[in-house]
Amino acid sequence: MFKVAVAGASGYAGGELLRLLLGHPQVQIGALTAAGSAGDVLARHQPHLPALADVVIQPTNPDVLAGHDVVFLALPHGASAVLAEQLDARVVIDCGADFRLIDSVAWQQFYGTEHAGSWAYGLPELATAEGPQRDHLQGARRIAVPGCYPTACSLALAPAFAEQLVQTEQVVIVAASGTSGAGRSLKPHLLGSETMGSMSPYGVGGSHRHTPEIEQNLSAAAGRPVTVSFTPTLAPMSRGILATCTASIAPGVSVDDVRAAYENAYGTEAFVHLLPEGSWPTTGAVLGSNNAVLQVAVDERVGRVVIVCAIDNLTKGTAGGAVQNMNLALGLPETMGLPTTGVAP
Ligand SMILES: NC(=O)C1=CN([C@@H]2O[C@H](COP(=O)(O)OP(=O)(O)OC[C@H]3O[C@@H](n4cnc5c(N)ncnc54)[C@H](OP(=O)(O)O)[C@@H]3O)[C@@H](O)[C@H]2O)C=CC1
Ligand SMILES: CC(=O)N[C@@H](CCC(=O)OP(=O)(O)O)C(=O)O
């Protein structure tokens, strides 16, 4: 058994981590920590986890987090970097952005703070020109979990770039996210009355901080720089991401070539599924599962490939991805403790 701590246990990502870890046969749950919520019982913040209802949340510091095999950090950006270097755990997995970007200039531009560095990037299914990303995660000690949008968008587009089926410019992504993607802390524009029954764009004009992360992943797949126009939107649902991705198709490439590339990339993956022809991804179908579901089409009239991907932002987009990475880091079966079926209707 591996003793596991969760920092940020009162938040959305922390709650989803604990839901998954409670069902993991090789995990013993250790310290649960937060900031202002320290001293509360977990039931006040995570009412869906009765097995941990009476556990008292502790403050987040290196002493409380010492003596664990694995520490998950589900903290706001910036908080992980400060803490990470003081942790003694064999494996530390950061759900935040602090260690995702390789390029410190892009970090400065989009986050406006000093770059903390980069850790192994935790998207095992990502095809890169240098081989599968999974190889870098087996036995890794420090792992950066991707952002939720980059997870969906990179899984959607990477095989097309890895097989050189699309052009590296004029890639356009519009993605919708549920409101839990913004975290639990109070934000006036995310009150129920602002979001119920209404969709809205944000981070428009190439300003969203996930843009360089998506470009980093697609450039790794293509083996050359890729630029992306990314527009996120907020949808009136608590969970889920639906990413619609389009790119100019390379000369002579058919829809059969595109389908074959995705079958080849994901045919043996447990969590990433190309749907049968005629079926399209929905966020409802992946709710609570660690799945990413995809469909591809070619719009021959405009010469563009269209790829749609759905994930649950809190599962494959954060906590499920984090547990998948823990399994790889510890040498456990990659799928251990992770749901491969959703909840419907
Ligand atoms: N929500 C999502 O879909 C996704 C989230 N992530 C990332 O996961 C991380 C957590 O996100 P999320 O759970 O949504 O956020 P929440 O706002 O829901 O939770 C944040 C957690 O961090 C704690 N916290 C806040 N400030 C500090 C601090 N200075 N020191 C220690 N603990 C602190 C909070 O405790 P307290 O209650 O005491 O304030 C709370 O437990 C973020 O980095 C986010 O970017 C990644 C992918 C998707
Ligand atoms: C709806 C919403 O606000 N979503 C968040 C992304 C959530 C996520 O994956 O982001 P990080 O781990 O990078 O914080 C946003 O747009 O900033």
Output the CA 186–ligand 2 centroid distance in Å.
14
Q: Are residues 7 and 137 in the same domain?
A: yes
| 24 and 140 co-located in one domain | yes
Report whether 282 contacts 242 (CB < 8 A): yes
Q: Same structural domain for residues 288 and 187? A: yes
Q: How far apart are CA 98 and CA 209, in angstroms?
A: 12
Same domain, 141 and 36: yes
As a whole number of angstroms, the distance between CA 150 and CA 217 comes to 8
pLDDT at site 318: 98
**Which atom of ligand 1 is nearest the CA belonging to 178?**
3
Residue 341 in any domain: the answer is: no
* pLDDT value of position 4: 98
Instruction: Ligand 1, residue 181: give the atom nearest the CA.
Output: 3
Is 185 found in the same domain as 289? Answer: yes
The CATH number of residue 226's host domain is: 3.30.360.10
The predicted structure's pLDDT at residue 113: 95
**The pair of three-digit structure tokens given for residue 108, joined into one six-digit string:** 């400065």
CATH at 73: 3.40.50.720
Do the domain assignments include residue 15? Answer: yes
Using CA atoms, how far residue 175 sits from 79, 123, 318, in Å, is 27, 19, 16
Q: Which helix (H) or strand (E) holds 173?
A: strand 171-177
Q: Phi and psi dihedrals of 310, rounded to 5? A: -120, 135
> Do 167 and 140 sit in the same domain of this protein?
no
For the beta carbon of residue 45, count every other beta carbon within 10 angstroms: 19
Q: 121 and 163: one domain? A: no
Dihedral sign computed on CA atoms, order 169, 172, 178, 184: positive
**Is 320 found in the same domain as 296?**
no
Residue list, ligand 2 pocket, CB within 6 Å:
96-97, 147-148, 177, 181-182, 232, 234
Would residue 296 count as lying in a domain?
Answer: yes
Which pLDDT value is given to residue 204? 97
- In angstroms, what is the C-alpha Rg of the chain? 19
| Residue 344, domain member (yes or no) | no
**Whole-number pLDDT of residue 131:** 80
293 forms bridges with which residues in the sheet?
273, 310
Q: Is residue 342 part of a domain?
A: no
Q: Please tell me whether residues 95 and 169 are part of one structural domain.
A: no
- Expressed in angstroms, the distance from the first to the final Cα of the chain is 35
- With respect to residue 77, please indicate whether it lies within any of the assigned structural domains: yes
Same domain, 222 and 190: yes
The domain in which residue 132 lies consists of 2-146+315-330
Instruction: Report yes or no: 97 and 150 within 8 Å, Cβ to Cβ.
Output: no
What is the structure's pLDDT at 185?
82
What is the structure's pLDDT at 190?
Answer: 77
* Ligand 1 mean position, distance from CA 129 (Å): 33
**Cα distances (Å, whole numbers) of residue 322 to 164, 171, 317, 329:** 29, 28, 9, 10
283 and 157, same domain (yes or no): yes
46/34 Cα distance (integer angstroms): 13
pTM of the model: 0.97
Model pLDDT, residue 192: 81
Pairwise CA distance, residues 243 & 230, whole Å: 10
Count of domains for the chain: 2
Per-residue pLDDT of the chain (345 residues; tens, 9 = 90+): 999 999 999 999 999 999 999 999 999 999 999 999 999 999 999 999 999 999 999 999 999 999 999 999 999 999 999 899 999 999 999 999 999 999 999 999 999 999 999 999 999 999 888 888 999 999 999 999 999 999 999 999 999 999 999 999 999 999 999 999 999 886 777 788 888 899 999 999 999 999 999 999 999 999 999 999 999 999 999 999 999 999 999 999 999 999 999 999 999 999 999 999 999 999 999 999 999 999 999 999 999 999 999 999 999 999 999 999 999 999 999 999 999 999 988
Q: What is the ipTM of this complex?
A: 0.97
| Tokens found for residue 85 | 């270097």
Residue 200 lies in a domain: yes
Which of 148, 153, 245, 309 is flagged as catalytic?
148
**Residues 166, 131 share a domain:** no
Is 148 part of the annotated catalytic residue set?
A: yes
Tell me, in angstroms, the distance from the centre of ligand 2 to residue 196's CA: 19
How does DSSP assign 209-252, residue by residue?
A: THHHHHHHHHHHHHTS---EEEEEEE-SSSS-EEEEEEEEBPTT
Angstrom distance (rounded) from CA 35 to CA 10:
9
The verdict on residue 301 lying in a domain is yes
Nearest to 98, CA basis, from 82, 135, 88: 82
Question: Which residue puts its alpha carbon closest to atom 13 of ligand 2?
Answer: 147
